[in-house]
Amino acid sequence: MASYLNSRPRFEILDGLRGVAALVVVAFHVFEAYSPGPAYQIINHGYLAVDFFFALSGFVIGYAYDDRWQRGMTASMFLRRRFVRLHPMVVMGATFGLLTFYASAGDVSPSVAGTPVLTLLGVFLMTCLLLPAPSSLDVRGWGESYSLDGPMWSLMYEYIANVLYAFVVRRFPRWLLGAFVAVSAVFTVDVALNIDLFNLLEARNYHIHTIIGGWSLSADQLYVGSVRLLYPFFCGLLVYRLGGRIKLRGAFLWCSLAVVALLSLPRIGEGATAWHNGLYEAVAILLLFPVIVMAGAGSEVVGRRQLAVCRWLGAISYPLYLIHYPLIYLYFGWQRTHADLPAQVHVFAGVSVFILSVALAWGVLRLYDEPVRRYLAARWFGKASR
């Protein structure tokens, strides 16, 4: 089983696109330090990268595992493989967040300085186990369920998607999966356009007409997080099962430009036309991201250099996503304290955080993530596991 999975060819362009989106996320968070609110964010729709990641994951999970169940794979084997792939970086992200936690104390993180060490260690243990913390354990004061490394909320939902796939959705015939995806699309429109079918969204009025959210345990955020997971992930799975492919010349370049453009577009509409922004996000999630996945899956890289770039971007994408945010906490605090410094100093600092994030991700990948995954795979499966 392990040998078969490791021998299957990869979708190199999809790997590269994952890395491109991860780089945009880092830039999005750096610029966020200078934003008075979501409507004014410079890379305004960077948060849609999460929805794109889910679409990629659904497609890749279907490709890597759909035909393995008849060959003896059990739910336990599948989940252990996913644990080996995902969890070492969860622990590293939590550790990095722990080591930098007290250094982020200040006006931007009001709860940090007063957090007892034992409470912090308890939150660290919960984070390593990927258990979301209730508001009583919000040790940073940002309303996050993972105060040591905020983006981990999406990893919680990634695990949920894998569990749903292993125990339920993998058995769905294509027509039932299609119906499931169609219903999920209705929920996506509900959140993006703030229709609020279930009267859950009033609490997030400061983010109306957008899909953004999912990072805490309140009812509205749990609903938003679930909605952001269901359509993209299982649409990606459906695209794989339907054989959705688009052959496009120069696909990596064009798809990369499309991803950057979709994530960077300014906020659309205001006041009476604010719903235009929700419509844009719904179209991006429901239609454009699946098309990009199909183009990436149906096309080939051009030349060894592009292949190397795609492989490198794919390799650092996950470590970069989880390792950069503790640096962002520090950067938010630095920016608030040094807001009066010349613009060129802030440009230099922001670029430095970006470069440091990429360098740390590469170092963590090579020195920690890959060796730990090889060790765990050897112990559990006898061979390296993807």
pLDDT tens-digit series, residues 47-82: 999 999 999 999 999 999 999 998 989 999 999 999
Residue type, 376: L
Query: What local confidence, expressed as pLDDT, does residue 5 receive?
Result: 47
Residue-wise pLDDT for 304-321, tens only, equals 999 999 999 999 999 999
Confidence of residue 331 (pLDDT cuts 50, 70, 90): very high
Burial of 243 (0-12, 13-18, 19+ CB in 10 A): exposed
Q: Hey, how many other C-beta atoms are within 10 angstroms of the C-beta on 43?
A: 22
Average pLDDT, the chain: 94
Q: Is 333's pLDDT higher than 70?
A: yes
Instruction: Quote the CA–CA distance of 185 and 183 in Å, as a whole number.
Output: 5
Query: What local confidence, expressed as pLDDT, does residue 270 receive?
Result: 86
Q: Calculate mean pLDDT across residues 316-339.
A: 97
Instruction: Quote the CA–CA distance of 127 and 326 in Å, as a whole number.
Output: 13
Q: Calculate mean pLDDT across residues 246-273.
A: 95
Residue 297 near residue 18 (C-beta atoms within 8 A): no
Query: What local confidence, expressed as pLDDT, does residue 119 receive?
Result: 97
Instruction: Quote the CA–CA distance of 217 and 183 in Å, as a whole number.
Output: 23
Six-digit token string for 383: 């061979």
Encode 24-73 in three state secondary structure: HHHHHHHHHCCCCCHHHCCCCCHHHHHHHHHHHHHHHHHHHHHHHHHHCC
Higher pLDDT, 269 or 160: 160
Query: What local confidence, expressed as pLDDT, does residue 4 receive?
Result: 41
Q: Is 206's pLDDT higher than 70?
A: no
Q: Is 17's pLDDT higher than 90?
A: yes
Q: Is 131's pLDDT higher than 70?
A: yes
Query: What local confidence, expressed as pLDDT, does residue 221 receive?
Result: 95
Provide the whole-model pTM.
Answer: 0.95
The end-to-end CA distance of the chain, in Å, is 11
Q: Is 384's pLDDT higher than 80?
A: no
Q: Where are the domains of the chain?
A: 2-381
Six-digit token string for 360: 């740390």
